[in-house]
Structure 1
């Protein structure tokens, strides 16, 4: 763990222990549909507040907004747990276990790269430039971030990506018809 992570985790735990009533108020409407107990709920709250604090720190925002961000993140987690949706960590763990048991799944990344290269070949130069930049980013990026990077309007980014998606879909359908 990095120094930042070591500082955030105790802060998150302290925040959760200080805000138990808020946590219960958010979870109460969904609790009877969740297959968890109070310690699981506290664990989910710890993860949600950790995520909220991390985002606030990354975006250089005031930590007094923690409660506002937490409400959104935690309510979403509660709804997912009530609906029986597997959360991200569970999905990643399942994929890791499957890859260990089935080595042929590791070959799929090479296929994915080939599919990506083929899909990018269907794009215009500008669409390809924007798409490659997005794919090279370590974290997901917003339309605003893309617009700032390329010095264009957000509407232009939306148009470029929308047209790129349409081109890839059209190209994909064309390839499927050729294969038949």
Structure 2
């Protein structure tokens, strides 16, 4: 990838085969390239979940604001910890994610900050360990922060505390039914978790 500065803006482009891809389309190609990994041939990608999983991911996450925090919790009835919350939201849309934050980070492809989309997962390093939330756009994310803060809430990723601790962004845009994804998930977590919760 290369960038050229023109009139105080940065024109980012990629060369895909013999074609240059400019601007926003470059961001899409970057996302697809991340999914392709080392395979190198974008044309051979299997169908994948749309960015952000489905249009309802953020709405589902926001509908759970106010649900109590509970370590190890993974339902509105018992409360949520951060990974239980994220997993629950995606499961409501038929997307199975690993149960804990470290496994999610290991199983999902990373994306650059500049091409983040609503529904992406934001990972943080905090004093208590790892933390994950769902990006909702406009630099906001929804998450189950801690016992101290008490409940699922919306926070600003650019606020000093969270911005300093941002460790990476992962996107649940993977061919979840592919044998490669299932094998990767088994390596990280063991048997594929059920979706019957």
For the criterion TM > 0.5, the same-fold answer is: no
TM category (shorter chain) comes to under 0.3
Which of the pair has the greater relative contact order for Cα pairs under 8 Å at 6+ separation?
A: 2
Higher helix share: 1
TM-score normalised over the length of structure 2 = 0.21
Q: Which structure has the greater CA radius of gyration?
A: 1
Structure with greater proportional strand content: 2
| Length-normalised TM-score, structure 1 | 0.22
